[in-house]
Structure 1
Amino acid sequence: MLSKETILNKIQILITNHFSTPEDAFSFFDKDGDRKLSKDEIVKLLKEADINGFIRGRISSKLIEDYDKNGDQLINWEEFKSAYDEISDESK
């Protein structure tokens, strides 16, 4: 399985190469516009980040577990921004 660092690096590359801002990326993957990313929406983000289909479901569950601070099983903008900031800090 890919390391957390590898997965986060692929997500960072996707966001920085294809979107002007992290907010643009969040809005793009928030298909229903509820300002929260569901597991299915995170799976689509992982697909775009070139994460292997076999492990996308497991990785999306782990990302929710790691970054969902309010326990609603969704990633809201603040949680997404926190995760993105962590990714950005690790790449420096």
Structure 2
Amino acid sequence: MSTKEDILKKIEILITNHFRTPEEAFNFFDDNGDQKLSKSEIKDLLQEAKISGFIRGIVASKLIEGYDKNDDQLISWEEFQTAIDEISN
């Protein structure tokens, strides 16, 4: 199974190699344009980052659990930025 560091590295590689900015990546995966990423949208991001389908749902849940500061079960742009800042360090 992938470690947290492996998963975060794959996300960083996806964003760095395929988008000019993290905000562009966020907007790309925000399918409905509500400026929040749902679990489904996060799973799409993880799929693009080559995270195994077997663990994609678990990882999406953990990302929401770890970064959703207002408990709406969604990741806002600000929450996404916090995650990206952590990944980049």
TM-score category of the 2 structures, normalised to the smaller one: over 0.9
**Secondary structure, aligned partner of 2:71:** coil
Say whether 1:44 aligns with 2:44: yes
Unpaired segments of 5 or more residues in structure 2?
A: none
Q: Take 2:80 and 2:13, find their aligned partners in 1: how far apart are those partners?
A: 15
Q: Which amino acid aligns with 1:38?
A: S
Q: Which amino acid aligns with 1:71?
A: D
Poorly superposed stretches of 4+, deviation over 2 Å: none
- C-alpha displacement of 1:2: 1.3
Unpaired segments of 5 or more residues in structure 1?
A: none
Instruction: Give TM-score scaled by structure 2 length.
Output: 0.98
What's the CA shift string for 1:10-41, capped at 9, x where partnerless? 00000000000000000000000000000000
Instruction: Give TM-score scaled by structure 1 length.
Output: 0.95
RMSD over aligned CA atoms reads 0.5
Q: Which amino acid aligns with 2:9?
A: N
Q: Take 1:62 and 1:15, find their aligned partners in 2: how far apart are those partners?
A: 19
Task: State the aligned residue count.
Answer: 89
What's the CA shift string for 1:34-78, capped at 9, x where partnerless? 000000000000000000011100110001001111110000000
Q: Take 2:31 and 2:5, find their aligned partners in 1: how far apart are those partners?
A: 26
Q: Take 1:73 and 1:80, find their aligned partners in 2: how far apart are those partners?
A: 13
Q: Take 1:5 and 1:78, find their aligned partners in 2: how far apart are those partners?
A: 22
Q: Which amino acid aligns with 2:21?
A: T
The aligned counterpart of 2:58 is 58
